[in-house]
């Protein structure tokens, strides 16, 4: 029974990950940041040289991603898929976790602190599940602080050298954004920043919400039936 319970829990996690993947929608939940200015501002209305300086500053800021050579040197046979970097805000921007405002704030802070401490462990589990059930394969990844620039999001959230980052290799643009959305939802984050090395664009996701009562009707039936099959064999 102990072995059965362990396998049952593992299969449940698999189903949750598949369901999360099916919820993702890069076109709906992400927007490209055309001008990656430090304060999140758009193109100024000034004269030519002011605009030129603004564009140059955005370009320099967009290049402030310090890559781990061990992660991005080897393409693992997927030369067309270069992956990217997922960046978390330095602020507490967790989704609402309680109807009571005071309890909600406390839960948000505790949740954020717990996730920052256990980022590597949680990311490892998510990526393993992602590789298990998707055609694309994450060849290598690293958790650290790869972003050395600065950006302020739509709601005032900040991304800078203190931000936790996850470097990913071996994913297409679509795969990278879907993984970023999955991770943001699992971490209960409303926003997440993504640098895509496939097209060298930067994206921002806003207003992500977790579904407390997911619909498993579209989940692969083979995965759902694993629990029944395992129980029958034990």
**Is residue 79 one of the residues assigned to a domain?**
yes
**Is residue 222 one of the residues assigned to a domain?**
no
What is the spatial distance between Cα 4 and Cα 230, in angstroms, rounded to a whole number?
7
Structural domain boundaries enclosing 24:
2-32+64-211
* CA dist list (Å): 210 to 116, 118, 146, 186: 19, 19, 27, 8
What is the spatial distance between Cα 74 and Cα 222, in angstroms, rounded to a whole number?
34
* pLDDT given at position 103: 58
- Condensed to tens digits (0 to 9), the pLDDT of residues 61-120 reads 999 998 887 776 655 555 578 899 999 988 645 555 566 766 555 665 555 555 555 677
What average pLDDT does this structure show over 146-170? Answer: 91
Residue 211 has pLDDT above 90, yes or no: no
What is the spatial distance between Cα 69 and Cα 85, in angstroms, rounded to a whole number?
13
Which comes out higher in pLDDT, residue 7 or 106? 106
Write the DSSP assignment of 73-130 as a string of letters: S--TT-TT---EEEE--SS--BPP--SSHHHHHHHHHHHHHHHHHTHHHHHHHHHHHH
**Is residue 151 one of the residues assigned to a domain?**
yes
Question: How many domains are there within the chain?
Answer: 1
191 φ, ψ (degrees, to nearest 5): -130, 155
**Is residue 22 one of the residues assigned to a domain?**
yes
**Is residue 73 one of the residues assigned to a domain?**
yes
For residues 123 and 143, is the Cβ–Cβ distance under 8 A?
Answer: yes
Residue 157 has pLDDT above 50, yes or no: yes
Largest CA distance in the chain: 75
């Amino acid at each position: 029974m102990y072995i059965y319970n362990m396998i049952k829990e593992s299969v449940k996690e698999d189903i949750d990950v598949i369901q999360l993947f099916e919820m993702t929608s890069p076109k709906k939940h992400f927007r490209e940041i055309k001008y990656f200015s430090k304060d999140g501002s758009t193109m100024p209305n000034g004269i030519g040289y002011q605009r030129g300086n603004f564009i140059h500053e955005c370009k320099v800021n967009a290049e402030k991603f310090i890559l781990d050579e061990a992660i991005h040197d080897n393409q693992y046979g997927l030369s067309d898929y270069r992956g990217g970097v997922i960046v978390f805000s330095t602020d507490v921007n967790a989704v609402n976790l309680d109807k009571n405002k005071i309890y909600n704030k406390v839960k948000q802070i505790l949740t954020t602190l717990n996730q920052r401490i256990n980022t590597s462990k949680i990311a490892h589990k998510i990526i393993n599940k992602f590789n298990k059930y998707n055609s694309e394969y994450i060849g290598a990844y690293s958790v650290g602080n790869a972003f050395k620039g600065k950006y302020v999001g739509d709601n005032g959230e900040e991304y800078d050298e203190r931000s936790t980052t996850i470097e990913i290799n071996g994913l297409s643009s679509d795969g990278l954004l879907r993984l970023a959305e999955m991770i943001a939802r699992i971490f209960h984050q409303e926003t997440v920043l993504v640098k895509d090395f496939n097209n060298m664009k930067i994206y921002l996701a806003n207003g992500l919400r977790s579904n407390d009562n997911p619909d498993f009707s579209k989940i692969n039936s083979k995965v759902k039936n694993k629990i029944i099959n395992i129980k029958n064999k034990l």
